[in-house]
């Protein structure tokens, strides 16, 4: 396996460590919207779990040289994922499911050859990714998903940081009033 593939898989694995760290967060905040009109950390984690499963079960098997791969509209994955996160499932269950789904996906990726990782295919009729300018390959698809992970990680970290800061400021203000 090429070093760049091994490095990509390591980056992809790193999200699990972040998700595991969320076990220490308060349940109330885990299920609270990060911003008006936005998802909660629970919905974000569920969303990534659902995408992990979709990539593993539906997309990876189709990503072959010259294939024309069709992906679903985002909402076909995102809406059920968000609903599931708010269905009464626990924080620990959401975290466990995300880690398990990512580990399953990583295991399959580790078994792929270099040729499979760099096989070019069309995605929804397009040979080139409109955002990166690179041809569609398994490698670049996972690279984009690493970016996606980091985007959501930053959102969640900023949310928890702002709530911890706000909580700390309120505590100080209460102390000053005494």
- Confidence at residue 92, expressed as pLDDT on a 0 to 100 scale: 98
Largest CA distance in the chain: 71
Q: Which of 33, 12, 155, 149 is nearest to 82 (CA)?
A: 33
3-state secondary structure of 4: helix
- Confidence at residue 169, expressed as pLDDT on a 0 to 100 scale: 41
Query: 1.20.120.450, 2.60.120.10, 1.20.272.10, 1.10.3720.10: which CATH number matches 3-177?
Result: 1.20.120.450
- Confidence at residue 171, expressed as pLDDT on a 0 to 100 scale: 41
Query: Angle at CA 131, nearest 5°, toward 151 and 19?
Result: 20
Locate the domains of the chain by residue range.
3-177
* Cα-Cα-Cα-Cα dihedral sign, residues 152, 139, 72, 53: negative
pTM, two decimals, is 0.89
- Confidence at residue 165, expressed as pLDDT on a 0 to 100 scale: 52
- Confidence at residue 132, expressed as pLDDT on a 0 to 100 scale: 84
Could you list the mean pLDDT of each consecutive 10-residue stretch along the chain, which spans 178 residues?
93 96 92 95 98 98 97 97 98 98 98 97 95 93 96 94 58 31
Residue burial 133-161, b: 16+ Cβ < 10 Å; e: rest: eebbbbbbbbbebbeebeebbebbeebbe
3-state secondary structure of 134: coil
């Amino acid at each position: 396996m090429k070093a760049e593939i091994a490095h990509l898989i390591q980056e992809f694995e790193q999200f699990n460590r972040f998700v595991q760290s969320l076990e220490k967060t308060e349940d109330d905040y885990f299920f609270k919207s990060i911003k008006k009109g936005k998802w909660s950390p629970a919905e974000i984690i569920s969303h990534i779990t659902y995408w992990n499963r979709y990539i593993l079960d539906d997309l990876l098997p189709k990503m072959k040289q010259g294939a024309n791969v069709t992906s679903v509209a985002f909402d076909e994955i995102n809406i059920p994922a968000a609903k599931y996160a708010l269905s009464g499932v626990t924080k620990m269950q959401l975290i466990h499911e995300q880690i398990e789904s990512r580990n399953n996906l990583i295991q399959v990726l580790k078994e792929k050859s270099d040729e499979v990782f760099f096989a070019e295919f069309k995605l929804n009729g397009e040979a080139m990714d409109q955002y990166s300018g690179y041809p569609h390959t398994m490698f670049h698809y996972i690279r984009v998903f690493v970016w996606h992970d980091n985007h959501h990680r930053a959102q969640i970290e900023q949310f928890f940081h702002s709530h911890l800061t706000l909580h700390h400021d309120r505590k100080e203000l209460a102390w000053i009033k005494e």
